[in-house]
Structure 1
Amino acid sequence: MSGIVSYLVFFLIQALVFAVVCLGLNLQWGYTGLFNIGVSGFYLVGAYAFALLCGPAHARIVGGLHLPFVVGLVGSMVAAGVVAFVVGIPTLRLREDYLAIVTIGIGTTLQLIALNANALTGGSRGLTDIPRPLPGLVDGVFSRNLLLLGLMIVIVIVLYAALEAMVRSPWGRVLKAIREDEQAAASLGKNAFSYRLQSFVIGSAVMGLGGALYASFIGYISPEDFMPILTFQIWSMLIVGGSGNNKGAMLGAVLMWAVWTLSGSAAQALLPATMQIKGGAAQIILIGLVLMVVLVLRPRGLIGEEAVVSHGAELDATASVP
């Protein structure tokens, strides 16, 4: 029984990490229409920034500043946001497909840099001894994971509340207007490029936060943790949950991570040893099937974007009732 509880805690922590990343992608795609296929790259930047800021000093790498946990989280968001700003300046004025091409290239490039910049990232060996939050407060792996789960829940709630306030504000309504009709928004005096850049930077910073939380949870990162398949996973979570709805983004993260982990366990249990090497391919096929079913039955996702009715429309509807 204790093993099941321990695994459930582990599962929920990782699911909440993905929920954070999905919230960042939802701000970009769900509310602004920015097609970012480089999610794994910004996730990577956040993870490595946290490891270099908060990890212990190593003779073979630069960094290891051993800074406080909160400083590492903020630093990871700033690092991912700066990368997004540099990428967004030349690309967000172009068509959406150019952003997709650039971001997928950036994601791959950042992973290759992490693989080869041994003095900064540890290369293929990765970075170890990444500290957990509040070290020394509790003893035992389960107690530390339980503490981290509680902290993750608080972070996700605060992040959700902050993003909800942002997208329901006039700023968020401008993002939706740009998503629906950029020319109409520009005709009303809104600088579409500026708003798109803000959304891109903030969303990427949130992805960087997810990377930092992952690094702190696992305690070890390597370039293999940030393969392009990660971007596919995050997108599938958002599509299934429902883009344009922060609740849907979080729900999709939990559900699709459950599908991924359960299918992996089933492959190990059911497939012969000679076939288990292909279990990863079976997982991807299953994710694709789930996507197809959801898109057919609920094209807007399990919890799609909420329809917003203006106050004037409500008055008109009321007046038309006899």
Structure 2
Amino acid sequence: MDPLHLLKACFLLVPAFLLGCLLFSALRWRARLPAALVLACVLAFGIAGLLPGSMDYLVSFSIMAIIYSILSLGLNAQWGYNGHLNFGVAGFFAVGAFIMALFVTAPPSGMMAAYAQQWFGLEAPYLLGVAAAGVMAGVVAWLIAQPILHLRADFLAIATLGIAEIIRLVFQNERWLANGPQPMSGIPQPLSCVFDREGCGWLPDALQTVLSIMQPRDYGYLYLVIVALALALTYAVLEAMVRSPWGRALRAVRDEEDSAAMSGKPVKSLRVQSFVLGAVVIGVAGALYAPYMVTIDYSHFKPLFATFLVWVMLMLGGSGNNKGAILGAFVIWAVWSGTGFVTDSLQVALQGVAPDVASRMSFLRWAFVGLLLALIVLYRPQGILPEKKRVSRFLDGEPED
């Protein structure tokens, strides 16, 4: 194995180790950590040794799957644990992405000021941008929750879908806010200096020398570590919250609202809290998405793409189960990516024979995902990993962390 692929494998160790901790969560910590470390070494170095040509694709695939996993976790906090039929995922996703972009970019200057406009540009640190994106998405959710959370089921779904479309249209048409229909570009990527020729001044010289064999195009390996850590932190926080008395109260409100109210639970407050919590998580996913794409515009946040896919992910993995939300995101993103190769091949093959049919090949992806959704509803409505009715770690059969 050459030094470049060996170094790339070292970056893969972190997400692979976190995956191992998730897979071996049934074990106690003393056994879980060694098992996860062994799995991480096998996966990282096995991929580098056996599939060196596919490493870059697997990294880009994993980054997007992780971002969608966080989106799925956010929706799970709303629907899975409190029954909010939220079809406005795309709206909070857009709020998080654009707030991140506004915070970390610089205001246009010079000739660019004539072509690009934005409300403000603070050149803030990356973590501040992530925090601002989550907070602003939560504030928007709290404002929305006041007039609409008295609605139920399909009425709530229609209202949230309409609000998400309004948010998208605001970003599309208000040029002063985030450059309107034109893209916001030049979003800085965190720690991108690590792979630049100049390097990061705070890095030790020895480490800078080791990393010098990697090019700026290899930045995805570092960003994979960043988003994997963000997913691990989000999962740990949500797991702690839903296993707490507060989380059990959310389920009580979801399953039997009147009984929960008679038991003294603040039903309205709990419904608002879960809605805001899910929006904060979705906003954080948007904050992770924007720097990875570098350039964003309103078209990235269409309801079909940023809401429909997330719902399919959660339903396949299992609503009410955070592990299921992550699993469903990876499976559906794999299906979506795989069908892209199929439709591209069919489009090329049919271009000279039936150009009208070839131009419609992209819709086959949606048809396949729609068919998959129908099969889930018919044959596995509880998802791959059904919701666990026992959530306390102090009951028999649950490991103590």
State the TM-score, normalizing by the size of structure 2: 0.75
- Give the letter for the 1:268 counterpart: D
Alignment of 1:65-144 (within 5 A): 65-139=122-196, 140-144=215-219
Deviations 1:111-130 (A, max 9, x none): 11111011111122110001
1:23 aligned residue:
73
Match of 1:217 among 277, 281, 292: 292
- Unmatched tracts of structure 1, length 5 or more: 315-322
Q: Distance in 1 between matches of 2:217 and 2:331?
A: 23
Which of 184-193 and 117-126 deviates more? 117-126
Q: Tell which has more relative contact order, 1 or 2 (C-alpha 8 A, sep 6+).
A: 1
1:277 aligned residue:
359
Q: Distance in 2 between matches of 1:31 and 1:159?
A: 16
| Contact 1:32/1:178 (<8 A) preserved | yes
Q: Is 1:50 equivalent to 2:120 in the alignment?
A: no
| Contact 2:243/2:392 (<8 A) preserved | no
Q: Is 1:177 equivalent to 2:255 in the alignment?
A: no
- Give the letter for the 1:185 counterpart: A
Q: Which has the greater radius of gyration?
A: 2
Give the RMSD, CA atoms, in angstroms: 1.7
2:389 aligned residue:
307
- Unmatched tracts of structure 2, length 5 or more: 1-50, 197-214, 397-401
How far off its partner does 1:228 sit? 1.2
Alignment of 1:139-288 (within 5 A): 139=196, 140-229=215-304, 230-271=306-347, 272-273=350-351, 274=355, 275-288=357-370
Aligned residues: 313
State the TM-score, normalizing by the size of structure 1: 0.93
Quick one: percent identity of the two aligned structures?
Answer: 41
How far off its partner does 1:296 sit? 2.9
- Give the letter for the 1:94 counterpart: L
Deviations 1:113-169 (A, max 9, x none): 111011111122110001111231224344310000011111101110100000000
1:64 aligned residue:
121
- Give the letter for the 2:343 counterpart: A
| Contact 2:346/2:361 (<8 A) preserved | no
Secondary structure at the counterpart of residue 360 of structure 2: helix
1:291 aligned residue:
373
- Give the letter for the 2:118 counterpart: I
Q: Distance in 2 between matches of 1:177 and 1:32?
A: 8
Q: Distance in 1 between matches of 2:152 and 2:380?
A: 28
Which of 235-244 and 131-140 deviates more? 131-140
How far off its partner does 1:310 sit? 8.5
Seen in structure 2, the aligned counterparts of structure 1 residues 310 and 247 have a Cα distance that, compared at 3 Å, is closer
| Contact 2:104/2:124 (<8 A) preserved | yes
- Give the letter for the 1:233 counterpart: L
- Give the letter for the 1:44 counterpart: A
| Contact 1:6/1:142 (<8 A) preserved | no
